[in-house]
Amino acid sequence: MIGVFDSGFGGLTVLKSVVQKMPEYNYLYLGDSARVPYGERSQETVYTYTIQAVDFLFKKGCQLVIIACNTVSSRALRRIQQEFLPGAYPDRKVLGVIRPSAEELVDRKCRKVGILATKGVVDSKIYTEELEEIDPPIEIFYQPCPLLVPIIEAGRQDEPRCDELVSGYLDGLFAQEGAIDTILLSCTHYPILYDAFRRHTPDQVEILSQGPIIADKLEDYLERHMEVERGLSRGGNRVFYSTGSLETFDRLAGVFYGEPIRAIPATLDSPE
Ligand code: DGL
């Protein structure tokens, strides 16, 4: 089984693309909607919450967990891989969304990239760090969009206020650099506002959502790691867990996932 974790609904935009590409596997989604947003929480808090989430997914039988959240990938992933997994689950894998997205920017030969993200991701400068290892001729410009996740989690993405916020954040980005060629929606919640981003962005600027990128890179990863692929159960099951209100999850999650969803309640505790 493949586990997919996000602080709320956003990871469903990634799950949707992954399931479209690889429908044969069983998937288990966990949204920590009771504690969303993570974007302004401390690194320590995000780490603690993520250990609880990963432990939950492993105990449910996942062999591989995708952290479908940039905030968690930037603030906790490395520590999970280096400190938590070796002692607690040495035979399981946890992958994030930053490295594959950074590789995509290189593959596409982008030059001036706008990263729209939560405050946590922007403060971490994680894309600059990841790209330094590859060292391509790419310049990164960060723009935090702190009000978008709360407004999306409240199901208010169609309100005019949301459009105004998107336009204001893009103004902030283009004020830094007018010749940006690519914008990466580096928060898995933002694809739900893709049309608004497109409306306020010059036509020649490409806007990338992470769902299709993660789906392609995951397929490639599984082809290269047959030992992981062989451990994944097949059957096309999809199970959804939420720590928050199930009524809200079922109502709003369908918008992200594109199909009706019935979630199961989840309680997250720290592993012993
Ligand atoms: N979807 C998460 C991300 O990609 C949202 C983070 C939050 O909870 O603020 O960053």
> Is the Cα torsion angle 50, 51, 56, 59 positive or negative in sign?
positive
39 lines ligand 1 (CB under 6 A): yes
Written as six digits, the tokens of 133 are 């290892």
Measure CA 131 to chain center: 18
Rounded to 10 degrees, the C-alpha dihedral 226/188/191/225 comes to -10
Question: Residue 186: pLDDT band by 50, 70, 90 thresholds?
Answer: very high
Third-level CATH fold of 98-210 = Rossmann fold (3.40.50)
Query: 118 C-alpha vs ligand 1 centroid, how far in Å?
Result: 7
pLDDT of residue 10: 93
pTM listed for this prediction: 0.96
Residue 187 bears catalytic tag: yes
Please name the residues in contact with 137: beta carbons below 8 A apart, sequence gap of 6 or more. Answer: 111
Question: Residue 255: pLDDT band by 50, 70, 90 thresholds?
Answer: confident
Radius of gyration of the chain (CA): 18
Mean pLDDT calculated for residue range 48-62: 98
pLDDT of residue 270: 86
Query: 210 C-alpha vs ligand 1 centroid, how far in Å?
Result: 12
**Does pLDDT of 133 surpass 90?**
no
CB 74 within 8 A of CB 98: yes
209 lines ligand 1 (CB under 6 A): no
**Does pLDDT of 271 surpass 90?**
no
36 lines ligand 1 (CB under 6 A): yes
pLDDT of residue 112: 98
From the CA of 40, give the closest atom in ligand 1: 9
5 lines ligand 1 (CB under 6 A): no
CATH 3.40.50.1860 fits 2-96+212-265, yes or no: yes
pLDDT single digits (tens) 196-251: 999 999 999 999 999 999 999 999 999 999 999 999 999 999 999 999 999 999 99
What residue owns the CA closest to ligand 1's atom 9? 39
Question: In a 3-state reduction of DSSP, which class is residue 215?
Answer: helix
% the chain with pLDDT above 70: 100
Mean pLDDT calculated for residue range 41-47: 95
User: Where exactly does CATH 3.40.50.1860 map onto the chain?
Assistant: 2-96+212-265, 98-210
Measure CA 109 to chain center: 22
From the CA of 121, give the closest atom in ligand 1: 10
pLDDT of residue 130: 95
Q: Longest C-alpha distance within the chain, in Å? A: 52
Query: 227 C-alpha vs ligand 1 centroid, how far in Å?
Result: 30
From the CA of 149, give the closest atom in ligand 1: 9
pLDDT of residue 272: 75
Query: 166 C-alpha vs ligand 1 centroid, how far in Å?
Result: 16
pLDDT of residue 263: 96
